[in-house]
Amino acid sequence: MIKIKNLSKNYVVKQGIIKAIDGLNLEIEAGEIFGMIGPSGAGKSTLIRMLNLLEQPSSGSININGTDLTELSSSNLRAARQKIGMIFQHFNLLTSRTVLKNVEFPLEIAGVKKNKRRKKAKKLLALVGLADRLDHYPAQLSGGQKQRVGIARALANEPDVLLSDEATSSLDPESTKATLELLAKIRDEMNLTIILITHEMEVIKEVCDRVGVLESGKIIESGSILDIFANPQKDLTKKFISSVIDFELPQRIIKYLHQKRPGKLIRISFLGEKTHAPYISDLVKHYSVDANILYGNIDEIQAVPFGTLILDLEGKLTKIEASIDYLRSQDLRVEVLEDV
């Protein structure tokens, strides 16, 4: 488990002090893939570099599997870092070394004998699907292949934690998907904890178990992927979700909102098996309201259906209110759009 308490990072500039990370608290369970998303300048890269103390915190603690990294001596910190692998946006491969020797490099630094490190590097390259590229150089590889070498190298010292700093940002969509599938496979096979920093909600949606939304050095919202997508609270979270799921209201619905009309306009969010339940027919049958469907969308979040409906409810106000109460009693997220 990773426990981060009151973590801060301040930079002193001519204008004063910049708080890159501001009193951040976070717990990450062992074996989960935790995504951290935020806009440029939110502090994502600073945070991930502090998790292995490449960046020294101004205050606070970072506890990984019972060890507070901020209290370790230099020699003990070097040993602890060997259990924290890291993959980078721009790969950071050694251009003068072959694929095999790139993966061997951290083992060489750790003093592992040549035969043993070669055997291990070959095994890791087979794991990431590059067994046929051992003698190639980085310049001979695609972006996706370079990132696979970076992942294999990060696994060389059998880490407990893998840090991913925008690892898919330089990749095309196909390579991104393959890399995320590989990370999920590695997590399952090696029981790793993975912390994935990104500015792309599609990445979070595809592979993460939980997510934290970072803004101005603080986590403003966090939770399971399904909970965050089904019930986002902050405007920034909604903005990120809208980049992959049509969460924003269509313009024609916004225009409809400003018209004088009876009834209420509501948005219902469905999750899982609830997408198949006959809620609308229940409203018509039991509450004597007309439910006109103005907009609908169904997507999937990690194989779980997620749907949105916008309904125009017409009828007696008391009946409409009762029907909304009924929907909410079914654990559905219901927004009255006039109030949004």
In single-letter form, the type of residue at position 131 comes to A
| Residue 53 backbone dihedrals phi, psi, to 5 degrees | 60, 25
Q: Give Cα separations from 337 to 130, 216, 258, 266, 340 (angstroms).
A: 52, 29, 11, 5, 5
Of the candidate ranges 37-41, 82-86, 197-201, 228-232, the one whose mean pLDDT is the lowest: 228-232
Residue 311 confidence (pLDDT): 87
Confidence of residue 249 (pLDDT cuts 50, 70, 90): low
Residue 208 pLDDT exceeds 60: yes
* Per-residue pLDDT at 260 exceeds 60: no
Higher-confidence position of 114 and 332: 114
Please give the average per-residue pLDDT across 15-44, as a whole number.
92
pLDDT at 228 over 80: yes
The whole-number average pLDDT for the span 156-163 is 94
Q: What is the mean pLDDT of residues 141-154?
A: 94
If pLDDT is split at 50, 70 and 90, which confidence band does 218 have? very high
User: Has residue 180 got a pLDDT over 90?
Assistant: yes
Q: How far apart are CA 308 and CA 325, in angstroms?
A: 18
Q: Give the DSSP letter string of 16-75.
A: EEEEEEEEEEEEE-TT-EEEEE--TTSSHHHHHHHTTTSS--SEEEEEETTEEGGG--HH
Rounded to an integer, the average pLDDT of 73-95 is: 89
Average of per-residue pLDDT across 193-218: 93
pLDDT of residue 339: 45
**Is the confidence at residue 72, as pLDDT, over 70?**
yes
pLDDT at 22: 93
C-beta of residue 76 within 8 angstroms of C-beta of residue 136 = no
For the residues 251-256, what does the mean pLDDT come to? 71
Rg of the Cα trace of the chain?
24
d(CA 216, CA 228): 19
Residues 6+ apart with CB under 8 A from 117: 104, 107, 108, 156
Per-residue confidence (pLDDT) for residue 232, from 0 to 100: 86
Do residues 10 and 55 lie in contact, with contact meaning Cβ atoms separated by under 8 Å?
no
Could you give all domains of the chain from N- to C-terminal order, each with its CATH number?
2-242 (3.40.50.300), 251-339 (3.30.70.260)
Question: Can you tell me which residue has the tokens 């994935």?
Answer: 196
> What pLDDT is recorded for position 146?
94
Six token digits for residue 50: 């502090």
295 band by pLDDT with thresholds 50, 70 and 90:
confident
Q: Which residue type, as a one-letter code, is found at position 49? A: R
- In 3-state terms the chain splits into helix, strand, coil percentages (rounded to 5) of 40, 30, 30
Amino acid identity for residue 189 in this structure: E
- What's the confidence (pLDDT) of residue 340? 40
Average pLDDT over residues 163-179: 90
Global confidence as pTM: 0.84
> Residue range 240-269: average pLDDT?
74
pLDDT interval class at 62 (50, 70, 90): very high
- CA 81 to chain centroid, in Å, comes to 23
